[in-house]
Amino acid sequence: MDSGGRELRYGVLADIHGNLHALRAALAALDGMGVRRLLCAGDVVGYGPQPNECVELLAERSVPTVSGNHDLMALGALDDARCDPLARACMNWTRAALDGPSREYLESLPSVVAVPDGPVVAHGSLDDPQVYVRDEREAGEQLRRLAATRPGADVLLLGHTHVPLASDGSVALRRIEDARRVRIEGPWVLNPGAVGQSRERRIRCRFLVLDAQRREVTFHAVAYDVRGCRRELRRRGLPLRSMHLPPWRPRAVARAARTAGGRARATVAGGRR
């Protein structure tokens, strides 16, 4: 805390996507660390099987939260033209599943939250929840935008990519391992990765802890009740892979294609004998 008694550590969540089991695991870990101030960079719903329960939990804790693109699509405030078939199918289910209080909560979310004397939170970017900020060039653009629109703020918290990121606009740290600690002198863009839909080899929920006094951020990846989440997905008729999209591996795909091609050529050759 600072001399005025304010808590200067923030637990930062993003991309919960209706995964209550993952959200509970993240909150339990943050509670265990004694982190009381929480922030959420949007996409509370979409993909996962328990959107209303996730909304209720964030509302109970009065977590400052911004609207993500999936939150807006669930309300019909944004179309799903950019969605792939999986995202679109899950979104159709989510729209039908949302109850009245959840819709009211999502409708109340701002696009940007600026914490007094603290970080600024948005979803994809400061101006558009659908924009991806994935590297130092894109982070630099956002930091220049931050300086122009929010004088005095020097930490921008984003989500949307589902991949952890720390960038000062000249370098970018990605594929950040669990418990990685980063010093942040000067302006930085930070993305905790996804709570509810991991896009990495392991199934984990990710979040970060920002210590504004020490100018330090620690990235975390913790396990959660995957079987419980899968049970809920089955119960609601949702695809099991909606909770985890492993990274696309070009080499593995190319190797599989070469193998399949070799088998096809062998079959053709065999047929000519």
Residue 165 in any domain: the answer is: yes
Residue 93, both tokens: 């289910």
Tally of domains in the chain:
1
Residue 256 in any domain: the answer is: no
Query: Can you tell me the mean pLDDT for 202-220?
Result: 96
Residue 257 in any domain: the answer is: no
The per-residue pLDDT for range 122-144, each reduced to its tens digit, is 999 999 999 999 999 999 999 99
Sheet holding 180-183, edge to edge: 37-40, 9-13, 205-211, 216-222, 180-183
The per-residue pLDDT for range 23-54, each reduced to its tens digit, is 999 999 999 999 999 999 999 999 999 999 99
Residue 244 in any domain: the answer is: yes
Residue 196 in any domain: the answer is: yes
DSSP 193: -
CA atoms within 13 A on the CB side of 188: 21
**Integer angstrom CA distances of residue 195 from 59, 69, 184, 204, 212:** 17, 16, 23, 8, 22
Range of the domain at 209: 9-248
pTM, to two decimals: 0.89
Residue 79 in any domain: the answer is: yes
Residue 263 in any domain: the answer is: no
The per-residue pLDDT for range 19-30, each reduced to its tens digit, is 999 999 999 999
CB-based contacts of 122, cutoff 8 Å, min separation 6:
41, 42, 66, 111, 112, 113, 129, 156, 157, 158
24, 168 Cβ separation under 8 angstroms: no
Q: What is the model's pLDDT at position 202?
A: 92
Task: Name the phi and psi angles at 209, rounded to 5.
Answer: -120, 120
189, 220 Cβ separation under 8 angstroms: no
Q: Has residue 252 got a pLDDT over 50?
A: no
Q: Has residue 264 got a pLDDT over 50?
A: no
Query: Can you tell me the mean pLDDT for 176-191?
Result: 93
Residue 253 in any domain: the answer is: no
Dihedral of CA 65/114/13/159: which sign? positive
CATH code of 134's domain: 3.60.21.10
Q: What is the model's pLDDT at position 249?
A: 56
Q: What is the model's pLDDT at position 7?
A: 67
